[in-house]
């Protein structure tokens, strides 16, 4: 690849990463606004958990895999631009919601819009970058998504702290709005800007010719590729812990330690950003180095280690007697769980057929994100309710981490030899 071609490739990776940051901000910001939305719209914890989790994840999953198959055949850049405009509009309109039903429909719209991004982006990265750079480019893209997931709390917390006790804000054309509404309006705009900027990215030629037709290949369920499916599934079970914490982490600080929403957002944002981003950038490089030294199963083994270390750290956080100890254990847990959570998408770059990477990426996202979003927030809320109500979030966190950590590790360990074999076959094929 020429120097100019490499520069264009990295430009596209950074632009896609910025769009992924915005996607995660728009996806996760609801977790910071739990208390004011509950108060204004009269929602319960269970309804909030469904908005954060199942309502988003179900449609994200249903539409994501077909869109991944489309990304293996159609103009990927244009798909990304159009769907970014959809989720931007739905995020903006979320600030106008007047009840659970309307907010639920708009969350579904955000999910449908975002579902095309990662399959299309990773398919583009595969054709824009040479093989030796793909894992690094994919991990950079995923790390920028984590920056958005954690930055949502930091940005929202800073806005809420800056507003202080302000009850309403006057905005042009919109009139007087509540602070939580203004946050939705503000975070919706970057997706619009970046969608237009994506028009400067050229659609690259495909290194692997697309298959004819538009049907799913289902290759990830066939015996030859089933180890990758097991890896995706195991990682998704582990990410139930992460998405549960993402939904309830700020609220836990508010309820358990009496922090303000603004304080909790900034603290959770900074802590998870530090742990998650450093883990997602460092772990893939460690795996690359381990593979280079002859350990073909380094990727699944590293994922297992992350799960078995991260889950106990999250349990320790939930049992911590002070907010400082909670944040310390939480940050270390995010380093382990989110740092290794990027590995399924690295596995797609290394071990999935080139002409089907969009579909494999969509399945990885389905298992890694949609499963966790469906189960994590609601499971923690329901377990807390079973232990006595909203003040028992710690019990929900402990139970979810204690079950999901070991179960996820067992599933990933089962895939170890098969993933190593697939990776070796792709490497030998060039």
Q: What is the mean pLDDT of residues 337-350?
A: 84
- pLDDT for 208 equals 63
Q: Average pLDDT in the 306-334 region?
A: 95
What's residue 44's pLDDT?
Answer: 85
Instruction: With respect to residue 279, please indicate whether it lies within any of the assigned structural domains.
Output: yes
User: Mapping DSSP to helix (H, G, I), strand (E, B) and coil, where does residue 42 land?
Assistant: coil
Alpha helix locations (H) across 29-130?
A: 34-41, 45-52, 54-71, 76-94, 100-114, 117-128
Classify residue 106: in a domain, yes or no.
yes
Residue of higher predicted confidence among 173 and 83: 83
What digits encode the pLDDT tens for the residues 106-127?
Answer: 999 998 888 889 888 888 887 8
Residue 205 resides in a domain: no
CB 307 within 8 A of CB 238: yes
Alpha carbon distances (Å) from 391 to 45, 216, 219, 252: 11, 45, 45, 8
- Per-residue pLDDT of 43-59, as tens digits, reads 888 888 888 877 787 78
Asked if residue 212 belongs to a domain, the reply is no
Q: For all residues of the chain together, what is the average pLDDT?
A: 84
Q: Which residue did the predictor score with more confidence, 360 or 71?
A: 360
Overall average pLDDT of the 235-248 stretch? 89
Is residue 368 in a domain?
yes
Domain presence at residue 272: yes
Highest mean pLDDT: which of 64-73, 112-121, 171-180, 362-371? 112-121
pLDDT at 72 over 80: no
- How many domains is the chain partitioned into structurally? 1
CA nearest 360: which of 215, 208, 221? 221
The answer to whether residues 339 and 276 touch, using CB atoms and an 8 Å cutoff, is: yes
Split at pLDDT 50, 70, 90, the class of 138 is confident
Domain of 71, in residue numbers: 3-200+219-429
Q: Residue 209 domain-assigned?
A: no
CATH code for the domain of 43: 1.20.1250.20
- pLDDT single digits (tens) 166-179: 677 877 878 888 88
Which of 397, 144, 143, 155 has its CA nearest to residue 270?
A: 155
Give the pLDDT confidence score for residue 8 in this predicted structure: 83
């Amino acid at each position: 690849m020429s120097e100019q071609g490499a520069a264009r490739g990295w430009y596209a990776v950074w632009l896609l990463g910025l769009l992924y940051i915005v996607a995660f901000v728009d996806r996760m910001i609801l977790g910071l606004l739990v208390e004011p939305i509950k108060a204004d719209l009269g929602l319960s914890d269970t309804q909030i958990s469904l908005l954060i989790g199942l309502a988003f994840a179900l449609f994200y999953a249903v539409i994501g895999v077909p869109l991944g198959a489309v990304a293996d055949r159609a103009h990927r850049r244009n798909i990304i631009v159009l769907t970014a405009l959809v989720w931007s509009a739905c995020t903006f309109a979320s600030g106008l919601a007047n009840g659970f039903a309307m907010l639920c429909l708009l969350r579904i719209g955000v999910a449908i819009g975002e579902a095309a991004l990662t399959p299309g982006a990773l398919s583009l990265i595969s054709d824009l970058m040479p093989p030796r750079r793909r894992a690094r480019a994919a991990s950079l893209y995923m790390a920028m998504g984590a920056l958005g997931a954690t930055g949502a709390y930091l940005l929202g917390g800073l806005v809420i702290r800056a507003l202080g006790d302000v009850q309403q804000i006057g905005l042009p054309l919109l009139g007087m709005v509540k602070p939580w509404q203004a946050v939705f309006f503000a975070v919706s705009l970057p997706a619009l800007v970046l969608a237009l900027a994506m028009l400067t990215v050229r659609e690259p030629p495909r290194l692997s010719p697309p298959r004819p037709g538009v049907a799913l290949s289902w290759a990830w369920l066939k015996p030859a590729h089933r180890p990758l499916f097991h890896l995706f599934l195991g990682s998704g079970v582990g990410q139930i812990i992460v998405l549960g914490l993402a939904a309830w982490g700020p609220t836990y600080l508010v309820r358990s330690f009496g922090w303000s929403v603004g304080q909790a957002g900034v603290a959770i944002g900074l802590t998870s950003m530090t742990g998650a981003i450093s883990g997602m950038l460092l772990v893939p490089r460690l795996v690359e180095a381990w593979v280079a030294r002859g350990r073909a199963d380094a990727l699944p083994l590293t994922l297992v280690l992350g799960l078995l270390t991260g889950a106990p750290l999250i349990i320790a956080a939930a049992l911590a007697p002070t907010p400082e100890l909670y944040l310390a254990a939480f940050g270390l847990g995010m380093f382990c769980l989110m740092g290794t959570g990027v590995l399924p998408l690295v596995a797609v770059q290394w071990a999935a057929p080139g002409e089907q990477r969009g579909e494999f990426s969509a399945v990885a996202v389905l298992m890694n994100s949609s499963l966790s979003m469906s189960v994590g927030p609601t499971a923690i809320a329901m377990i807390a309710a079973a232990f006595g109500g909203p003040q028992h979030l710690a019990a929900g966190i402990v139970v979810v981490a204690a079950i999901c950590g070991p179960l996820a590790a067992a599933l990933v360990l089962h895939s170890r030899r098969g993933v190593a074999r697939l990776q070796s076959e792709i490497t030998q094929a060039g």
